[in-house]
Structure 1
Amino acid sequence: MSEPNVFLLPDLGEGLTEAELVNWLVAVGDEIRVDQPIAEVETAKSLVEVPSPYAGTVAILHGEPGQTLDVGKPLISVLPAGAVTDAPAVAETSAETAKEAVAPSSEAAANTYREEEKAGSGNVLIGYGTSGGHGPTRRTRARRDGIAPAKPASLTQPAAAELRPAVSSPLVRRIAREGGVDLSSLKGTGAAGLIMRRDVEAALAGQRSATAPAPLATQPGAATLGEPAASYADIDSRTGLAIATRTPVKGVRKVVAANMSRSRSEIPEATVWVDVDATALVETRADLKKRNPDHTPGLLAFIARFVTSGLKRFPELNTRFQDAADGETKEIVGFDGINLGFAAQTDRGLVVPSIRNAEKLSARELDAEIRRLSKLARDGKAAPAELGGGTFTLNNYGVFGVDGSAAIINYPEVAILGVGRIIDRPWVVDGELAVRKVVELTLVFDHRVCDGGTAGGFLRHVADAIENPASALADL
């Protein structure tokens, strides 16, 4: 019989090493073509469709929705189109594939991936280019109401000759090892008998139930409310309080946490700020909106235009501090261009899309890019290339109703400009007190790349442009 082609979860770019399987777009027994989307996965950057590099019949789906998969581990097994199979052979192949999923060597994974690129399309992610051919596609069984067809027993049951427990990921093995769970004693509930994280956690819960001491006495009044006392296992040892929730740190939150921790630990940052009279900018935009209501840039786009102007005048803030090629000295790397990142809050967490070559765009063009990338980020559809590669970040935290913030630099950049809310405040104009539209600008910068004079000069440049937008835009 023909051996199935095992497609490994491909490199998703930007240094990402894992992804959460959101949804399968195919089922076991389906016939698929080259580059056909087979699954939706959510990385720490965005939601993407993964295409198949092979044509043929789906034999095994290595994972279930909600499971976190490591890059380089099996994602799907596909029998070549027209391959003749028999049940024992397919079961044996399933067992071998499951064994490989336990602990494939990095070299083997890399070789397999290279072979996939030669044999298949090379289309790692939709829109990233393809070099292969195409194959036929049809569904062998209808799917009703979104329910996948039943899987043949030969494809879902592990082989009797299997010598090692089929484990879906290194994380599962680690949880089992730390909890003292014997994997060989568990029956996997995943595809092809794979042992899933939930199987190990269920075994651990059984152990705790068997060994936990009797419940602690309830606090005064608890019994009258009819609430059960918390068990010892649910009490935090440091505070003595009951643990209400446990939230795994993954996806966007995991990347943000790592990035912010590295920024604070490596960058000697300093902060400068200034209050700015934004009345003229607000009035200028209002006048433009009266004349052209459908194509007037937002205030953030105007500020972004002033930022790119400032970075051209003070290029030290558009750099990166890094190790030199010799590995012993440090260097400051400057860029021929500005990739302006802007912080965008989404349901998945904070992401930073970047506008490529922002210094070449007008305020209206910057506004269009901000709107386009914001929508992609909110929908989880932004490509990895659109969520990385920034050289400077603009953070509009005024949308949250706050005036200022000492933000954390978006590593490996060297500066970030924060914009607070624009509010009415008393202001002295020509020696008299007046009510003006005032905004606070905050610049956090890496003190290794420049001193306060440069940081202050840049901040003042942006502030002056906001206070005198007509002359500033005329000069740009």
Structure 2
Amino acid sequence: MSAETSVTGTAGSTTAVRDFILPDLGEGLTEAELISWLVDVGDEVHVDQMVVEVESAKSVVELPSPFAGRIKALHASAGDTVSAGQALLSVAEAGADSSADAKSNLDDDSAGGGANLIGYGTSEPKARSTKKRSFGAQSEPPTAAQPAPTEQVSPQPSAATFPAPEAASTTASDTGVSPVSSPIVRKLAKDHGISAKHLPGTGPSGVVTRADVLSAIASGPGITSGRTASVPAGTSNTTRTGTDDLPGTTSAGEAAAASVDAGNRDTRTPITGLRKVVSERLTKSRQEIPEATIWLDVDATELLNTKRALEARTGEKYSLLSLVARFVVAGLKKFPIINSTIDTEANEIVTHGDINLGLAAQTPRGLMVPVVHGADQMGLRALRDSVSETVGKAPTGKFSSQELTGGTFTLNNYGVFGVDGSAPIINLPEVAMLGLGRIKERPWAVDGELTVRKVMFLSFVFDHRACDGAEPSRFLTFVADCIENPISLLPEL
């Protein structure tokens, strides 16, 4: 997607300036966070060249340019929130017939250059440049003086030459147009009683960014509607830090959004991005589903012995999660109603023929449920490899949209956090979820004798609209039996 303008110079040449618009994100998503630029102002780009990396609530993707030319301006910085329909960058191409070429290049979506968020383009993506880039705005190289054109596209100012606060305020009041590119930034300012258009902008061409608004909020009640804040020129925008890669730490977007109320020690963090999606889905799950939870204490001693014997015999590694996943798949085949979803619009229970096993994962982006598709068609080795590959991506949280959709049942291993049990919330539109607690030595009766065994806690939550207590209880006891006596699964294989 793009917007196009033409600038005509005195020499008669025509420069087509095109804005690359963030396309529709799909699945009800309207915003994304800009992770990094893969190009700089002044760079030449070709069609399908990857130019920017963005993170939606679903996945992290690189977007290719749908046209060729020279980068004229970057309209957002790393860490900024951008909305569907917002211009990401501008590209200029000089030539007598560049405008016609551009229109042909942009309108022919059927050729593969359409404005889809994921997987669009007409050629294989080129390798990313390894040179270090500054993600702030940059100036173009100086050129020889020329007569003033009839209309001029302003060059991108450098970080060191952003307009002074007074100049930015004057520009906004003179033109009556807010220098804020994002409606989300304007809303954030409005919610705190601040007029965004009166703030000095540190973004490209003096654009007010979210970081500017947050700085004004943090400075206290001195920044109100119609007043100008004093912010040093050249203040950099918020960027990601190394803590983004550490589980359990605050993400860059959340850290940038956190603001301290001047009147007390409270911290306010806007609920945005993935956190907003998770919040909405879990709230809807609690509101819609008449759920019930059942649980069992299970002796996992034989499961651990079987794991060690299997690894010694094959020389390969097997995780306990992959072994339990195999038991779960067998249980879903035996009790297919558990492998269902609810179609609320049609008022129907959809029992699925395929088993797509979701694995709840804590990532730096938040809670995500990547899916192992076709788990029922896999043997133990294939399932083990798929589970291992999926879990291996959790530290980055970079799952594709396909990996995050289509699940029919979810397995949640919260034992890794050192807790015994939980009452998990069902992952809509599925009808059930199995939770695994930690394995701990406990006193246990075996053949009438008290001994110490490795015991784990299973909790199972199900949707009463899909089934009553019989099938969930049988499913849970089947999985528990497999854990206590893994050889009992052999007849099911």
TM-score range, shorter chain: 0.7 to 0.9
SS of the residue 2:274 aligns to: helix
TM-score normalised by L of structure 1: 0.78
More helix by share: 1
- Is the 2:75–2:89 contact (alpha carbons within 8 Å) kept by the matching residues of 1? yes
Aligned to 1:99: none
Residues 248 and 285 (structure 1), Cα distance of their counterparts in 2 relative to 1, 3 Å cut: same
Residues 276 and 114 (structure 1), Cα distance of their counterparts in 2 relative to 1, 3 Å cut: farther
- Paired residues in the alignment total 415
Residues 467 and 179 (structure 1), Cα distance of their counterparts in 2 relative to 1, 3 Å cut: closer
Match for residue 303 of structure 1 among 319, 324, 330: 324
- Is the 2:434–2:459 contact (alpha carbons within 8 Å) kept by the matching residues of 1? yes
Aligned to 1:6: 19
- Is the 1:33–1:134 contact (alpha carbons within 8 Å) kept by the matching residues of 2? no
- Is the 2:40–2:138 contact (alpha carbons within 8 Å) kept by the matching residues of 1? no
Aligned to 2:242: none
- Is the 1:13–1:384 contact (alpha carbons within 8 Å) kept by the matching residues of 2? no
SS of the residue 1:189 aligns to: coil
Task: Say if 2:283 is the partner of 1:275.
Answer: no
Aligned to 2:468: 451
Aligned to 2:154: 154
Residue pairs, 1:168-247, within 5 angstroms: 168-202=181-215, 208-209=221-222, 234-235=262-263, 242-247=264-269
Cα separation, 2, equivalents of 1:418 and 1:136: 43
Deviation, structure 1 residue 305? 1.0
Query: For 1:23-73, what per-residue CA distance to the aligned partner results, in whole angstroms no more than 9, with x for missing partners?
Result: 111112111112211112122233322221222211221211111111232
Cα separation, 2, equivalents of 1:469 and 1:383: 34
Which protein, 1 or 2, shows the higher relative CO under an 8 Å CA cutoff with sep ≥ 6?
1
**AA partner of residue 262 (structure 2):** D
Which has the higher mean CA deviation after the structures are superposed, 330-339 or 173-182? 173-182
**AA partner of residue 188 (structure 2):** I
SS of the residue 1:383 aligns to: coil
Query: For 1:444-470, what per-residue CA distance to the aligned partner results, in whole angstroms no more than 9, with x for missing partners?
Result: 011111001111011111111112211
Residues 285 and 181 (structure 1), Cα distance of their counterparts in 2 relative to 1, 3 Å cut: closer
Cα separation, 2, equivalents of 1:415 and 1:270: 10
- Is the 2:73–2:89 contact (alpha carbons within 8 Å) kept by the matching residues of 1? yes
Mind listing any 5+ residue stretches in structure 1 that lack a counterpart? 86-112, 212-231, 236-241
Mind listing any 5+ residue stretches in structure 2 that lack a counterpart? 1-13, 99-104, 141-152, 158-167, 225-259
Cα separation, 2, equivalents of 1:337 and 1:144: 46
Aligned to 2:8: none
Task: Say if 2:310 is the partner of 1:288.
Answer: yes
Cα RMSD for the two superposed structures: 3.4
Cα separation, 1, equivalents of 2:292 and 2:124: 55
Aligned to 2:334: 313
Residue pairs, 1:30-429, within 5 angstroms: 30-80=43-93, 82=95, 115=107, 117=109, 121-122=113-114, 124=116, 128-130=119-121, 132=122, 146=134, 150-152=138-140, 154-156=154-156, 164-202=177-215, 208-209=221-222, 234-235=262-263, 242-293=264-315, 295-325=316-346, 330-429=347-446
Overall identity of the aligned pairs, in % = 49
Cα separation, 2, equivalents of 1:194 and 1:339: 45
Cα separation, 2, equivalents of 1:348 and 1:457: 36
**AA partner of residue 406 (structure 2):** G
Cα separation, 2, equivalents of 1:119 and 1:187: 43
Deviation, structure 1 residue 138? 12
Query: For 1:118-175, what per-residue CA distance to the aligned partner results, in whole angstroms no more than 9, with x for missing partners?
Result: 576237456x253x36999999xx9777577832492236999955223211122223
Cα separation, 2, equivalents of 1:81 and 1:313: 66
Cα separation, 1, equivalents of 2:22 and 2:207: 17
Query: For 1:220-279, what per-residue CA distance to the aligned partner results, in whole angstroms no more than 9, with x for missing partners?
Result: xxxxxxxxxxxx9634xxxxxx32433232233222222211111111110001111222
Deviation, structure 1 residue 347? 2.3
